[in-house]
Structure 1
């Protein structure tokens, strides 16, 4: 494994997924959550299956593998995409990006409570979780004070729920280590499409919607770049960097989300959000980057 290449791919994935928060915000006014997610995963699934065929590969035929794909599709795409899309109807894209920077802390909390990869738990990582969670509390607490939108706290909780999904997804995804990344991505995305299409058709009746041209373009970019291409990179990184390494790009994703929201959407970033984001970033760094403390070298 060429670590420099993997880190480069992690940076690229962080930029791609950071831009998704801006694109979701653009589409959210005229495209409801289930329809947006269904369009993303369906277009991405078709492209990924086509890529598999072009590469001369084939999808697995065992029921157990497809059952695992369904869980992966739910955790990695169907559920978090929907939660974030709904959440961004009520909060800024930059704030959503900050709150969605927490998967590494969820990974460590899961490890601490279940013993998953427990040998890697250190006091530095535990301190990182405490600092990061404090950042989440500060961000949500101050944002909620005087908030005219009563749904905002629930939207923030929805985005945190998406973060939990993103923490569980790479843990589950390690079971696909024997498959090419593109095959895993195609299988999981196909299952996500099977889940989301009927839900969108029944609940939101997308044929009755009138999305703006900007929203249509945003959904297409979300499907092709932020879903199909991003998932190929993602499943490669799950195999090379592991769950914690893969989720460590989340704080970079938060930075990109905030910057793009300010540049393209005119979003304001308050001091309380800045303090909260700083604590979240410090917490995630403490969880993911080992530090050799001088007093511990002996």
Structure 2
């Protein structure tokens, strides 16, 4: 049967949005690198959550959706905030003081692998297949190549920073699993609620640790913060939740293996970064591992029975 030509333009739009999502999330690491030049990590992430949360609240208001007000929901929002923004955002921002943006995006692309491992050990709500296990092993090998190369060279700030990015990736994996608690809410509601909760946690820390009124951020850092909050967080979330509805969760995970090379390319173009040979090998392993875990197997067409 010939494909429905009326659906082709719409599908092309969704694919374009998928590429845009991967680009926005890939660019976040370069935004962070530029932001932390004159803005401390905690204050940068506090600003990111405040601005992004405010934008999402406006979007929810325009859609006529209100956030729940019960204590249980906000307790879950707070837990989600710790796993999905407060801890990982801050760890990555701190790590990028000594780690290239391109390397950070490569290590952070391991989220599907750690999600699978946590699922295997803890909730076991997804089937374990040989294909997924192969993807896990190959992806972990890529991470070991990157981090191990630094460990064998010398133990220093860069190694600790790489491990911080890996820890942030584990937090993202935990957030993906904990996010199942919000299945009764509009998908954008927990995103907004968790960002608001995260801002409430980070603002006091920023005021005490960084005293932001004493800072003198550069114009490039302020623009990077705005881009990070508006484009790589608010707009990216809006696109993500649309794709969940149109392409489905499996189709949307394609951004996981698009984001890494796009993020590396953005860092190379705007920051002049160059990857080491071990980083290239690790990138290849991680991309193959994530692809094995996220690209669905093509089902064989049934053999027609003879009359």
Q: TM-score when scaled to structure 1?
A: 0.89
The answer to whether residue 285 in structure 2 is matched with residue 264 in structure 1 is no
Q: How does 1:15-94 map to 2 (within 5 A)?
A: 15-94=23-102
SS of residue matched to 2:273: coil
Aligned to 2:6: none
The answer to whether residue 203 in structure 2 is matched with residue 187 in structure 1 is no
192-201 vs 174-183, greater mean Cα deviation: 174-183
Assess, with a 3 A threshold, how the Cα gap between structure 1 residues 241 and 199 changes in structure 2: closer, same or farther. farther
54-63 vs 101-110, greater mean Cα deviation: 54-63
SS of residue matched to 1:118: coil
Deviation at 1:248, TM superposition (A): 5.0
Aligned to 1:226: 232
State the alpha-carbon separation in 2 of the partners of residues 197 and 241 from structure 1. Answer: 35
State the alpha-carbon separation in 1 of the partners of residues 273 and 138 from structure 2. Answer: 26
Deviation at 1:10, TM superposition (A): 3.8
State the alpha-carbon separation in 1 of the partners of residues 62 and 299 from structure 2. Answer: 50
Aligned to 1:212: 218
SS of residue matched to 2:39: coil
State the alpha-carbon separation in 2 of the partners of residues 53 and 210 from structure 1. Answer: 34
State the alpha-carbon separation in 2 of the partners of residues 128 and 33 from structure 1. Answer: 33
Assess, with a 3 A threshold, how the Cα gap between structure 1 residues 198 and 130 changes in structure 2: closer, same or farther. same
Q: How many residues end up aligned between the 2 structures?
A: 291
- Give ranges in structure 2 of 5+ residues lacking alignment: 1-9, 301-307
RMSD of aligned residue pairs (Cα, Å): 2.4
> C-alpha offsets along residues 119-163 of structure 1, whole Å, 9 cap, x if unaligned?
2x101110111111011011112244545x821111101111111
The answer to whether residue 118 in structure 2 is matched with residue 99 in structure 1 is no
State the alpha-carbon separation in 2 of the partners of residues 140 and 267 from structure 1. Answer: 18
> C-alpha offsets along residues 1-26 of structure 1, whole Å, 9 cap, x if unaligned?
x9876655443222111000111111
State the alpha-carbon separation in 2 of the partners of residues 245 and 133 from structure 1. Answer: 23
Do the aligned partners of 2:115 and 2:176 also contact (CA within 8 Å) in 1? no
Q: TM-score when scaled to structure 2?
A: 0.87
Do the aligned partners of 2:98 and 2:161 also contact (CA within 8 Å) in 1? yes
Do the aligned partners of 1:185 and 1:232 also contact (CA within 8 Å) in 2? no
260-269 vs 168-177, greater mean Cα deviation: 168-177
- Give ranges in structure 1 of 5+ residues lacking alignment: none
Assess, with a 3 A threshold, how the Cα gap between structure 1 residues 89 and 245 changes in structure 2: closer, same or farther. farther
State the alpha-carbon separation in 2 of the partners of residues 143 and 251 from structure 1. Answer: 24
Do the aligned partners of 1:103 and 1:247 also contact (CA within 8 Å) in 2? no
Assess, with a 3 A threshold, how the Cα gap between structure 1 residues 245 and 62 changes in structure 2: closer, same or farther. farther
Deviation at 1:118, TM superposition (A): 3.4
State the alpha-carbon separation in 2 of the partners of residues 138 and 241 from structure 1. Answer: 33
> C-alpha offsets along residues 189-228 of structure 1, whole Å, 9 cap, x if unaligned?
1101101111111111111111111000000111111112
